[in-house]
Amino acid sequence: MIKKPSDITRPADLHKHDLGTGPIRSHRPVYQDFLPPCNNACPAGENIQAWLALVQAGRYQQAWQQIMKDNPMPSVHGRVCYHPCETQCNREQLDGAVSIHAVERFLGDMALTENWKIETDSEPSGKRILVIGAGPSGLSAAYHLARLGHKVVIYEAGPIAGGMMRFGIPAYRLPRHELDLEIKRIEALGVDIVLDRKVDNLLADKNEGNFDAVFVAVGAHLSKRIDIPARDASKMLDAVSFLRDASAGNAPRLGRKVAIYGGGNTAMDAARTAKRLGVEEALIIYRRDREHMPAHSFEADEAIEEGVKINWLRSIKEMDETSLTVEVMALDENGRPKPTGKYETLEADTLILAVGQDTDTGFLRPVPDIAFESDGTVIVDTGMKTGAAGIFAGGDMVPSERTVTAAVGHGKKAARHIDAWLRNTQYIPAPKHELVNFEKLHIWYLTDADQKQQDHVSALQRTENFSEIVAGLNTADATFEAQRCFSCGNCFECDGCYGACPENAITKLGPGNRYRYEYDLCTGCAVCFEQCPCHAIEMIAEKGE
């Protein structure tokens, strides 16, 4: 519901009878900056509001440069990020969140098409850093370290860079062309990627390569195993290996009917990949209900649209040659699945296990002072540093949310702390401003402007191949989406305060410089506060009040 000026709540201690001029003014308006919820929610730490403002002005390359300060792969992220920024967007409470991921993809794709370049920010430092793993976190750290002037070498155990972006995310969600180009742009900064180079002895490699620091980001590529009795073990596959083989064009024979055990995004991707490989039926089996599944809701929706079946509240007990025995589960008062003693038989030629991934951190065990959680993940401090001097870690191999965007955020954070460590200083992030919520906005002047939707390939066509299923926005729609941003908490020079002030107590300082109050003229009437749509003005009690 849009607020009218009469609905706007003044500060609790500000009343009409308090208003006056000079010494009897009880409150004065002050320009302030607040933290927009999109910026606050971004795991990569992007200044989303800033680059949206540049898109609004048609300054697309500058907007891309702003993203690149925090995230080296906007074309990738515009496709695969689960955009928590949009979940928190204040506009969601009006007519739908700004489609931030779609605008980011637009900028990322435009940069690739027009071959925009990134240059290093600093002179060469003479320092060498080893990055272990060319997944999202390792690539991010390498990129930011290179921009800071350091020489970076990545050791990647696999035959090609990309990590789980390449081997865990199917091409229908992330086309390899855009992924390859964004990796090449990182290499163009002087980052060397050494493929088929597994690290078994970290300290030896560090010393032999004359590296000053190490960032470890090996991901979580080991599928968890569960004990399911089976007469033919070859009928059971792990989801990570299955997706990797399918991505490489070496998919195994699956048979007519495939069951996928698990309820996460990997299970959805495995089922949707199986459909594209021609199976007649892909059935997901999950021991809890949809409300408690770890997969994002839209992933399940798209899977169902493509003909994937989901059998909720079922647990697999054993596998025969062409069938599965499952037990029906029931949820207790805490939402935990409990066995009921009722069993069913389901047809399946192959079972794909998608019950989570572990990280292979055994090669770090001999390194003194590195500590581990019980699940093998590496313990790091707030600067991504392990207990060993000069060794940092991030991505899926540390306790955290396991997403591409979180991993990229880890890489950026680690790079800043590695840079400070190499310079014998400390990286201290700027303090965050106070978060601004929807209730603080004064958006009485707005009309609804519905979100521009991205086109999708029809469900019937999707399963024919691995082509991308979601289209990008065109220039007009991307610009429109950016213009839907409220600029929550930060002045965008709309002149609302300037035009509303009855005392001419506000001076315009020119484009980009905002405004200044002339307090000898200001009566504290709060009209500017009421007119400011984005809540960039606060009414502050006068001293002594």
Mean pLDDT of 41-58: 97
pLDDT at residue 248, as a whole number: 87
pLDDT at residue 92, as a whole number: 94
pLDDT at residue 139, as a whole number: 98
Q: In this structure, what are the phi and psi dihedrals at residue 460, rounded to the nearest 5 degrees?
A: -65, -35
d(CA 104, CA 485) in angstroms, rounded, equals 14
Mean pLDDT of 115-134: 92
Report the mean per-residue pLDDT for the chain.
Answer: 91
pLDDT at residue 460, as a whole number: 86
pLDDT at residue 20, as a whole number: 47
Mean pLDDT of 68-89: 96
Mean pLDDT of 28-57: 96
* Local confidence band at 1 (pLDDT 50, 70, 90 cut-offs): very low
Cα separations in angstroms, 468 against 135, 173, 251, 443, 478: 21, 6, 19, 38, 19
pLDDT over 70 percentage in the chain: 95
pLDDT for 233 beyond 70: no
pLDDT for 195 beyond 90: yes
pLDDT at residue 2, as a whole number: 45
Mean pLDDT of 144-169: 95
Q: Could you tell me the two tokens for 432?
A: 């965050």
Biggest CA-to-CA distance, the chain: 89
d(CA 44, CA 70) in angstroms, rounded, equals 7
Same-fold call for 128-221+359-422 versus 223-356: yes
Mean pLDDT of 21-45: 89
Mean pLDDT of 269-291: 95
pLDDT for 480 beyond 80: yes
d(CA 422, CA 432) in angstroms, rounded, equals 26
Q: Could you tell me the two tokens for 208?
A: 């032999």
Residues in contact with 341: Cβ distance below 8 Å, sequence separation at least 6, in sequence order = 327
pLDDT at residue 427, as a whole number: 94
pLDDT at residue 221, as a whole number: 79
CA proximity to 541, closest of 3, 30, 132: 30
Structure-model confidence comparison of residues 14 and 78, the more confident one: 78
pLDDT at residue 16, as a whole number: 44
CATH class of 5-33+491-541: alpha beta
CA proximity to 370, closest of 542, 203, 121: 203
Query: Where does 286-354 show beta strands of DSSP type E?
Result: 309-311, 314-319, 323-331, 337-347, 350-353
pLDDT for 14 beyond 90: no
Q: Could you tell me the two tokens for 297?
A: 């809701």
pLDDT for 469 beyond 60: yes
d(CA 344, CA 314) in angstroms, rounded, equals 9
pLDDT at residue 266, as a whole number: 93
Residue type at 32?
A: Q
* Local confidence band at 100 (pLDDT 50, 70, 90 cut-offs): very high
pLDDT at residue 145, as a whole number: 98
CA proximity to 179, closest of 141, 121, 218, 134: 134
| pTM reported for the whole predicted model | 0.91
- CB contact at 8 A, 190 and 146: yes
Residue type at 102?
A: A
Mean pLDDT of 504-524: 94
Task: Give the number of C-alpha atoms closer than 13 A to the C-alpha of residue 515, restricted to the C-beta side.
Answer: 27
Query: Where does 209-321 show beta strands of DSSP type E?
Result: 213-216, 222-223, 236-238, 257-261, 281-285, 309-311, 314-319
pLDDT tens digits, residue range 523-534?
999 999 999 999
pLDDT at residue 23, as a whole number: 55
Domain residue limits, the chain: 5-33+491-541, 37-117+441-483, 128-221+359-422, 223-356
Mean pLDDT of 327-356: 92
pLDDT at residue 231, as a whole number: 65
CATH 2.60.40.10 applies to domain 128-221+359-422: no
pLDDT at residue 18, as a whole number: 46
SS3 call for 308: coil
Report the CATH architecture of 223-356: 3-Layer(bba) Sandwich (3.50)
Q: Could you tell me the two tokens for 334?
A: 């805490």
Q: Could you tell me the two tokens for 363?
A: 């090669």
Q: Could you tell me the two tokens for 259?
A: 């069951």
pLDDT tens digits, residue range 409-462?
999 999 999 999 999 999 999 899 999 999 999 987 777 789 999 999 998 899
pLDDT for 335 beyond 90: no
Structure-model confidence comparison of residues 7 and 467, the more confident one: 467
pLDDT for 8 beyond 50: no
- 37-117+441-483 CATH fold: Fumarate Reductase Iron-sulfur Protein; Chain B, domain 2 (1.10.1060)
pLDDT for 320 beyond 50: yes
Residue that the structure tokens 């305060």 belong to? 497
d(CA 41, CA 405) in angstroms, rounded, equals 11
